[in-house]
């Protein structure tokens, strides 16, 4: 029988997203050990002390500053490390710098012979997940991106608010790129098993449901811009989304989540990472759900894939 070992989560990047995720994870009881690392050693040290002073109030958990050896026995490694855009810097140049960061992190993880599932969060998350996967060439399910889990949470929240129904009764998915070309997958979105069009008939509150649908999808797509405009970054909801993904991994929950994963023919797409519904368990993505989407949604997914492939081609061409 396999010996029990603590559920250990390593977070690389102790900035706004990494530290907020650590805080949410500590409160969740999902992990036994949380390890934070950052190229800024003082930042990592300060975050760990601040988090650890809350230990009397969390479920039992250890929180420490990490070293590369911590990758060895980790169950999940979450990468939130990234560079910010410098004044006057192009998006491509930022992408190149972040791709180099991800590659060197993946080299470090591989050097420790880690068996962990890696979750990439740094943006542009779909491109960087692909870069990470290409670097190590592990089974594709072991390197996943946070995909559209956060966007889908935003979608569920807005739908619940609009319909006046508990958010836990709303199952709804944003798919594709975590970014401008993402789209609302209405065909697989429900309230308590009812398609939204059917629920709308039942409810009868909206004057123009089609217009409301478009408005809600647009609000999801632009919400990160608004939050960044107000306060410079987004970190609370993504922290919770990461707890959800990591919980599925370390507790082998087999949860259906729209994470980013390299597609191998699903939806007719190859060699690109996109947010699609997948079953997530201890091995990472255990199965990609290749759904029979209606033609408009399939076209939207193909459009997202083409945008991401262009970004990858630019990266390779430099």
Nearest-CB residue for ligand NAD: 15
**Residue 182 binds ligand NAD (CB under 6 A):** no
Q: Which is nearer to ligand NAD, 13 or 277 (CB)?
A: 13
**Residue 223 binds ligand NAD (CB under 6 A):** no
**Residue 18 binds ligand NAD (CB under 6 A):** yes
Q: Which is nearer to ligand NAD, 209 or 236 (CB)?
A: 236
What is the closest distance, in whole angstroms, from the C-beta atom of residue 59 to ligand NAD in the complex? Answer: 24
Asked whether 142 and 249 are in contact (CB, 8 A), the reply is no
Counting every residue, how long is the chain? 318
Binder among 136, 167, 227, 233 for ligand NAD (CB under 6 A):
233
The mark string for 235-274 relative to ligand NAD (x by CB under 6 A, - otherwise) is: x--x------------------------------------
Catalytic positions, written as ranges:
178
What is the closest distance, in whole angstroms, from the C-beta atom of residue 195 to ligand NAD in the complex? Answer: 27
Binder among 114, 122, 152, 247 for ligand NAD (CB under 6 A):
122
**Residue 47 binds ligand NAD (CB under 6 A):** no
DSSP conformation letters of the chain: -PPP---EEEEE--SHHHHHHHHHHHHHT--SEEEEE-SSHHHHHHHHHHHHTTGGGSSS-EEEE--GGGGTT-SEEEE---PPPPTT--HHHHHHHHHHHHHHHHHHHHHTT--PEEEE-SSSHHHHHHHHHHHH---GGGEEE-TTHHHHHHHHHHHHHHHT--GGGEE--EEB-SSTT-EE-GGG-EETTEEHHHHHHHH---S-HHHHHHHHHHHHHHHHHHHHHHHS---HHHHHHHHHHHHHHHTT--EEEEEEEEEESGGG-EEEEEEEEEEEETTEEEEE------HHHHHHHHHHHHHHHHHHHHHHT-
**Residue 39 binds ligand NAD (CB under 6 A):** yes
**Residue 281 binds ligand NAD (CB under 6 A):** no
**Residue 102 binds ligand NAD (CB under 6 A):** no
Binding positions for ligand NAD, 51-80, rule CB under 6 A: 80
Binder among 114, 129, 133, 146 for ligand NAD (CB under 6 A):
146
Tell me how many residues contact ligand NAD (CB under 6 A).
Answer: 28
What is the closest distance, in whole angstroms, from the C-beta atom of residue 20 to ligand NAD in the complex? Answer: 8
Summarize as ranges the residues that interact with ligand NAD (CB under 6 A): 12-18, 38-40, 43, 80-84, 101, 121-123, 125, 146, 150, 178, 233-235, 238
């Amino acid at each position: 029988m396999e010996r029990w070992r603590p559920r250990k989560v390593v977070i690389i990047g102790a900035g706004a997203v990494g530290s907020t995720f650590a805080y949410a994870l500590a409160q969740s009881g999902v992990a036994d050990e949380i390890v934070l690392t950052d190229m800024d050693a003082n930042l990592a040290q300060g975050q760990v002390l601040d988090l650890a002073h809350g230990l009397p109030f969390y479920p039992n958990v250890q929180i420490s500053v990490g070293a590369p050896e911590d990758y060895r026995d980790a169950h999940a490694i979450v990468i939130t490390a990234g560079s910010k855009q410098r004044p006057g810097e192009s998006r491509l140049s930022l992408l190149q710098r972040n791709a180099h960061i991800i590659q060197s992190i993946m080299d470090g993880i591989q050097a420790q012979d880690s068996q962990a599932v890696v979750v990439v969060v740094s943006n542009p998350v779909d491109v960087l997940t692909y870069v990470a996967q290409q670097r190590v060439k592990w089974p594709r399910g072991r390197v996943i991106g946070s995909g559209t889990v956060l966007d889908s949470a935003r979608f569920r929240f807005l739908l619940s608010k609009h319909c006046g129904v508990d958010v836990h009764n709303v199952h709804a998915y944003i798919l594709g790129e975590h970014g401008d070309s993402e789209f609302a997958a209405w065909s697989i979105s429900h309230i308590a098993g009812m398609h939204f069009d059917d629920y709308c008939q039942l409810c009868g509150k909206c004057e123009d449901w089609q217009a409301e649908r478009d408005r809600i999808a647009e609000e999801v797509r632009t919400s990160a811009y608004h939050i960044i405009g107000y306060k410079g970054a987004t970190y609370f909801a993504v922290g919770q989304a990461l707890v959800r993904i990591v919980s599925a991994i370390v507790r082998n929950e087999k949860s259906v989540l729209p994470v980013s994963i390299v597609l191998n023919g699903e939806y007719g797409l190859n060699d690109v990472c996109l947010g699609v519904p997948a079953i997530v368990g201890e091995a990472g993505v255990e199965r990609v759900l290749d759904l029979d989407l209606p033609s408009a949604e399939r076209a939207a997914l193909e459009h997202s894939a083409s945008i991401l492939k262009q970004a990858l081609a630019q990266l390779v061409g430099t």
